[in-house]
Amino acid sequence: MYDSGKIITGLLVFVAIVSFPFVYSRGTNIVKPEPKIDTPVIQQMAVKQCVQPRAFMRAEHMQLLNDWRDSVVRDGNRVYVGFGGKQYNMSLQNTCMHCHSNKKEFCDSCHNFMSVKPYCWDCHIAPKENKS
Amino acid sequence: MKTLFPLFAVITLIVLVVAGVQYANMQFLFGVIIPYLAVATFVAGLIYRVMKWASSPVPFRIPTTCGQELSLPWIKQDKLESPSGTLGVIGRMALEVLLFRSLFRNIKLDMREGPRIAYGSDKWLWLSGLAFHWSFLIILIRHFRLFAIQLPYPIHVIESLDSFLQIGVPMLYITDVVILAAVTYLFIRRITNPLVRYISLPADYFPLFLILAVAGSGVLMRYFTKVDVVGVKQLTMGLISFRPVVPQGIGIIFYIHLFLISVLFAYFPFSKLVHMAGVFLSPTRNMANNNRMVRHVNPWDYPVHVHTYEEYENDFREKMKSVGIPVEKE
């Protein structure tokens, strides 16, 4: 091998870059997020049902929120017909967070796991929670 | 044919994974085994290729330069285009790797009325190449989000810069648009420019289609046909911590995305894509232009048995004398 010093240095850098994620996350305790739905409002519900079926909400709630926002802010339309024909007021704070008043244990439990930080709470007010 | 074959190859790959996951329930194969194999192939293959290059000698000093070399003190040297030392070479390589300096020089030959030949600057290749590679890098770095719970701060910065237009939710990443546009342009350029089309091989189209499909499936998954991203992250975290899990109910599009990127990784070291490593080992770029200052000995040189004139004369002296050829030693 020619220039072995440089070649080996280069290859070591390459291997270090590739293995960085493995080293960085080694031994991480992977706990599947369990969003809690035991809020007072939800507990009073006869049928525990979100605005749409659970699988849809898991995958599409961000899209749904975006559609709500566009609908309210652009068209002034605040009525959303959800699953089973039930009507909702399209509002992040007054509808979603009314039921899911435990933002930290619900929304954030997933979002921390996903390392996403929705910027919505820069402006919208998160529900007051007793536990910090 | 040169275009259709790679296109069908990519389509076959997609059909394969859809059949495997949707109908044969081989989530573990496509979600765990193939990605591991792909990364292993990528690393081992790349090291193998580099070692192989490193074991070929460079017989001559062959830097290609385009500037004034180091000369008399009152002649200004072009330190980056014709470097005479290591520092200059590093600068030149950095320009090449990070900014594609030599592509920037790309020119277009035009036959004008007359007939007259004109050379014009042609920056589109440089621009789209640069846009494509940088987007790819940023996208790759951004994916680290799926492989760590506590993200390092710089990655947050990259992510928020990339989404700073704050269009929609999930927020539109600028690089997603750029990469699709750039790859599409590179593809269109390949098929519409007759000269480039003539020299294009299936090995040029296949990576283009593959990357287009990888980026396309990713964009589709993020903005259009949503998947259960929590499940995806469970899978990716399992992979990275060597405790693989395969959550149920992740959409098929995720497996398509994962399989295509696995194929890209595995294919990488054995294709033209390996120019990622090769660019660092191009003798025409990574050598200092000190040809006139330092004596370079061909590493191939080995002691050759030389038959000198003296020995020759010794062999044939009598015969030479007999026919009257002058000899040096009587």
User: Does the CB of B241 have a partner CB in chain A at under 8 Å?
Assistant: yes
Q: How many CA atoms lie within 13 A of B71 on its CB side?
A: 9
Delineate the domains of chain B, giving CATH numbers in brackets.
Answer: 4-322 (1.20.950.20)
Please state, in angstroms and as integers, the Cα–Cα distance from residue B46 to each residue in A43, B49, B182, B313, following that order: 57, 5, 26, 55
Does the CA dihedral B151-B155-B156-B162 come out positive or negative? Answer: negative
**Nearest to residue B259, comparing CAs of B46, B60, B15?**
B15
Instruction: Using a CB–CB cutoff of 8 Å, tell me whether A62 touches chain B.
Output: yes
Q: What are the C-alpha distances in Å from A19 to residues B43, B227, B241? A: 10, 27, 11
- In eight-state DSSP terms, residue A76 is -
Q: Cα(B87)–Cα(B90) distance, rounded to whole angstroms?
A: 5
- Reported residue count of chain B is 330
Whole-model pTM: value is 0.91
Are the beta carbons of B92 and B76 closer than 8 angstroms?
no
Looking up tokens 């460079």 gives B58
pLDDT at B47: 96
- Whether cis (ω within 30° of 0) applies to the bond prior to B170 is yes
Token pair of B226 as six digits: 């949503």
Between CA B187 and CA B196 the distance in angstroms is 11
Rg (CA), chain B: 28
Burial class of A26 by CB neighbour count within 10 A (0 to 12, 13 to 18, 19+): exposed
A residues 1-40 closer than 8 Å to B (CB): 1-4, 7, 10-11, 14-15, 18, 21-22, 24-28, 30, 32-33
pLDDT at residue A6 is higher than 50:
yes
pLDDT of A132 > 60? The answer is no
Largest distance between two CA atoms of chain B: 101
Report which DSSP code applies to B270: G
Predicted local confidence at residue B108, as pLDDT: 84
- Which pairs count as long-range contacts for B267-275, CB under 8 Å and 24+ apart, including other chains? B267/B206, B267/B207, B267/B210, B268/B42, B268/B45, B268/B46, B269/B41, B269/B42, B269/B44, B269/B45, B269/B46, B269/B48, B269/B49, B270/B45, B270/B49, B271/B203, B271/B206, B271/B207, B272/B203, B272/B204, B272/B207, B273/B207, B274/B46, B274/B49
Q: Count other Cβ atoms within 10 Å, centred on residue B252.
A: 15
Residue A60 forms contact with B (CB below 8 Å): yes
Mutate to test the interface with B, among A115, A120, A121 (most CBs of B within 10 A): A115
Taking an 8 Å cut-off on Cβ atoms, the answer to whether A25 and B227 are in contact is no
Does residue A131 register a pLDDT over 60?
no
What are the pLDDT digits (tens) for B202-217? 999 999 999 999 999 9
DSSP 8-state class, residue B65: -
ipTM, 2 dp: 0.90
Kindly identify which residue of chain A lies nearest to residue B238, measuring between CA atoms.
A30
Q: Is B227 on the interface with A (CB under 8 A)?
A: yes
- Find where tokens 């030479």 sit: B320
Query: Which positions in chain A touch B39 (Cβ < 8 Å)?
Result: 18
pLDDT in tens, A67-124: 999 999 999 999 999 888 889 999 999 999 999 989 888 999 999 999 898 999 999 9
* Tokens encoding A58: 């898991």
Instruction: Give the pLDDT of residue A130.
Output: 58
pLDDT under 50 in chain B at which residues? Answer: none
**Is the separation of the CB atoms in B288 and B84 below 8 Å?**
yes
Find out whether B54 and B281 touch, Cβ atoms under 8 Å: yes
B229: chain A residues, CB-CB within 8 Å: 59, 114
Count helices and strands (H / E) in chain A.
5, 2
Q: Is B228 close to A58, i.e. CB distance below 8 A?
A: yes
Q: What is the DSSP-derived secondary structure letter of residue B117?
A: E
Instruction: Identify the burial level of B151 via C-beta atoms within 10 angstroms of its C-beta, where 0-12 means exposed, 13-18 middle and 19 or more buried.
Output: middle
Strand (E) positions, chain B?
Answer: 107-112, 116-121
The total of other beta-carbon atoms located within 10 Å of residue B20's CB is: 17
- pLDDT tens digits for range B251-288: 899 999 999 999 999 999 999 999 999 999 999 999 99
Q: What does the domain layout of chain A look like in residue ranges? A: 33-130
Tell me A39's DSSP state. -
Helix (H) or strand (E) holding A80, with range, is strand A79-81
Residue A90 CA: distances (Å) to CA of A67, A95, B72 = 9, 7, 77
- B170 Cα distance to chain centroid: 31
